[in-house]
């Protein structure tokens, strides 16, 4: 599956991302691709304080992406039936909203 | 002639014409294809007859070309390499790398080279096709996305784990050590195992403990041995006495 789009991943409003999956299951492809995109150099350079933590399990559990934002909000995505582009789209739209809110607040 | 005369007479008086001519305007039977009214056109389109698809009997047509792609030269070479790697090395670990630069990779490679662990990279497609043929088919789902192989002849797990802990972008997915497939937690617990000699020593000592104790007791002074046996009988006898007393009570 090709990487979705060329939009850069903005992590400015993100505090921590935990990606947990079980690599021997067959439904982890989208989660792993999401991890590869979010953990890339480009993405990490937008915010050096953001932690990207991959957790590898072996208990046939569902792959879950848990994003904690700077203002305390959490986004939990269950990647078993989602594609990478859907997950990335949802994540990026929220990041953009938060970023704009933060900029508007800073301007005031 | 009558029609024309009547229309001229009645027009001035405002009466409806007595005779209405039907055969007027374009004819019904034309030499060209007469354009249909739009509603009639739509109706015909909707109610058009669609014949059922004819089933071709099997074997009537030759089969479509099943793409049996032979491996290109490069993938054959890579497969041979992979086979050699799996045969030579006792430990093959699969690690996902999420965006580390060349610098970090070089540092990691250097650290691992000190302990004899090599970092190998193969395309996922080639790896999967090789694994599906070989014994290691259960490793195939690990190879998705950017993956790197760490191979070594000796299973040096502790050093590998410490090197991986230093670089946060690398995620250990699983490993095949001594032809046994292990998960990430399995690798961690493998690293905590004591060495083979230590385990063998513990096992041997546990088995020989009983016999050695018996042998040491027999080698003691016979007076001590008889005292021990008397004590043992006394311990047995209260139990026997307790059993015999209720039996006697029941009898009487």
Q: How far is A103 from chain B (nearest CA, A)?
A: 29
Radius of gyration in angstroms for the set of CA atoms belonging to chain A, rounded to a whole number: 14
Interface test with A, best of B93, B96, B99, B142 (most A CBs within 10 A): B99
CA distances from A65 to A12, A16, A56, B174 (A): 18, 11, 12, 20
Quick one: which of A83, A90, A88, A91 has its CA closest to A5?
A: A88
A2 lies in some domain: no
Options 3.30.70.1730, 3.10.105.10, 3.10.450.50, 3.10.20.30; CATH of B75-191? 3.30.70.1730
* pLDDT of B42: 96
Task: Quick: pLDDT tens for B120-157.
Answer: 888 888 888 888 888 888 888 888 888 888 888 888 88
Q: Are A29 and B142 inside 8 Å of each other by CB?
A: no
Q: What's the ipTM?
A: 0.79
Q: How far apart are CA B68 and CA B150, in angstroms?
A: 32
Q: How far is A29 from chain B (nearest CA, A)?
A: 7
Chain A residues in contact with B101 by the CB 8 A cut-off are: 41
Q: How far apart are CA A48 and CA B77, in angstroms?
A: 41
Q: ∠A29-A35-A39 over CA atoms, to 5°?
A: 155
Q: pLDDT band for position B8 (50/70/90)?
A: low
Q: How crowded is the C-beta side of B107, counted as CA atoms within 13 Å?
A: 9
* pLDDT of B213: 86
A92 lies in some domain: yes
* pLDDT of A2: 43
List the domain boundaries for chain B.
75-191, 196-237
Task: Quick: pLDDT tens for B173-197.
Answer: 888 888 888 888 888 888 888 778 8
Average pLDDT taken over every residue of chain B: 82
Chain A residues in contact with B146 by the CB 8 A cut-off are: 36
Q: How far apart are CA B103 and CA B109, in angstroms?
A: 10
CB-based contact, A43 to chain B, within 8 Å: yes
A82 lies in some domain: yes
Q: How far is A105 from chain B (nearest CA, A)?
A: 33
Q: A-B interface: how many C-beta pairs under 8 angstroms?
A: 57
**Which position has the token pair 């995620």?**
B171
Q: Are A54 and B138 inside 8 Å of each other by CB?
A: no
A1 lies in some domain: no
Chain B residues in contact with A35 by the CB 8 A cut-off are: 96, 98, 145, 171
Question: What pTM, to 2 d.p., does this model score?
Answer: 0.64
Task: Quick: pLDDT tens for B93-112.
Answer: 888 888 778 888 888 888 88
**Which position has the token pair 């005292």?**
B227
**Which position has the token pair 């032809």?**
B179
CATH number at residue A74: 3.40.30.10
| Token pair for B229 | 């046996």
Radius of gyration in angstroms for the set of CA atoms belonging to chain B, rounded to a whole number: 48
Chain A residues in contact with B184 by the CB 8 A cut-off are: 56-58
Q: How far is B68 from chain A (nearest CA, A)?
A: 22
How far from the centroid of its chain's Cα atoms is residue B105's Cα?
27
Q: Which residue has the higher pLDDT, A1 or B226?
A: B226
Q: How far apart are CA B229 and CA B176, in angstroms?
A: 55
Quick one: which of B68, B142, B150 has its CA closest to B105?
A: B150
Q: Are A39 and B99 inside 8 Å of each other by CB?
A: yes
Task: Quick: pLDDT tens for B54-73.
Answer: 988 888 888 777 666 777 78
Chain A residues in contact with B99 by the CB 8 A cut-off are: 36, 39-44
A85 lies in some domain: yes
Asked if residue A17 lies in contact with residue A53, where contact means CB atoms within 8 angstroms, the answer is yes
Q: In total, how many domains does chain A have? A: 1
A107 lies in some domain: no
CA distances from A73 to A25, A43, B29 (A): 29, 20, 78
Supply the range of the domain harboring residue A84.
Answer: 14-100
CB-based contact, A26 to chain B, within 8 Å: yes
A3 lies in some domain: no
CA distances from B138 to A53, B108, B180 (A): 26, 27, 11
Q: Are B172 and A23 inside 8 Å of each other by CB?
A: no
Question: Closest-CA residue in chain B for A54?
Answer: B171
Per-residue DSSP letter, B170: E
Q: How far apart are CA B171 and CA B95, in angstroms?
A: 5
Dihedral over alpha carbons A22, B135, B92, B168 (to 10 degrees): -20
* DSSP-assigned states of every residue in B48-108: ---PPPPPPPTTSSPPP----PPPPHHHHHHHHHHHHHHHH-SEEEEEEE-S--HHHHHHH
């Amino acid at each position: 599956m090709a990487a979705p789009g060329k939009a850069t991943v903005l992590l400015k409003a993100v505090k921590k991302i935990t990606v947990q999956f079980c690599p021997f299951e067959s439904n982890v492809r989208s989660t792993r691709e999401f991890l590869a995109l979010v953990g890339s150099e480009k993405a990490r350079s937008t915010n050096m304080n953001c932690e990207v933590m991959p957790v590898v399990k072996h208990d046939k559990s569902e792959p879950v992406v848990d994003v904690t934002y700077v203002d305390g909000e959490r986004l939990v995505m269950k990647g078993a039936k989602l594609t990478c582009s859907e997950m990335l789209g949802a994540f990026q739209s929220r990041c953009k909203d938060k970023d704009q809110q933060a900029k508007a607040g800073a301007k005031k | 002639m009558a029609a024309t005369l009547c229309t001229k007479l009645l027009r001035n008086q405002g009466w409806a014409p007595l005779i209405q001519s039907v055969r007027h305007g374009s004819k019904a039977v034309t030499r060209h294809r007469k354009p249909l009214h739009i509603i009639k056109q739509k109706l015909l389109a909707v109610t058009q007859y669609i014949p059922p698809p004819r089933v071709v009997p099997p074997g009537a047509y030759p089969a479509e070309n099943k793409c049996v792609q032979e491996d290109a030269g490069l993938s054959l070479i890579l497969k041979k390499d992979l086979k050699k790697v799996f045969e030579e090395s006792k430990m093959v670990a699969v690690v996902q790398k999420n965006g580390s630069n060349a610098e970090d990779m070089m540092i990691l490679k250097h650290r691992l080279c000190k302990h004899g662990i090599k970092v190998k990279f193969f395309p996922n497609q080639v790896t999967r096709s090789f694994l599906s043929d070989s014994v290691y088919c259960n490793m195939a789902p690990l190879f998705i996305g950017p993956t790197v192989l760490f191979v070594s002849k000796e299973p040096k797990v502790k050093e590998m784990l410490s090197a991986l802990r230093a670089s946060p972008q690398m995620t250990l997915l699983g490993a095949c050590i001594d032809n046994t497939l292990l998960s990430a937690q399995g690798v961690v617990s493998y690293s905590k195992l004591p060495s083979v000699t230590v385990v063998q020593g513990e096992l041997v000592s546990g088995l020989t403990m009983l016999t050695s104790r018996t042998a040491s007791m027999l080698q003691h002074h016979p007076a001590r041995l008889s005292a021990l046996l008397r004590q043992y009988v006394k311990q047995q006898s209260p139990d026997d006495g307790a059993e015999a007393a209720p039996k006697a009570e029941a009898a009487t």
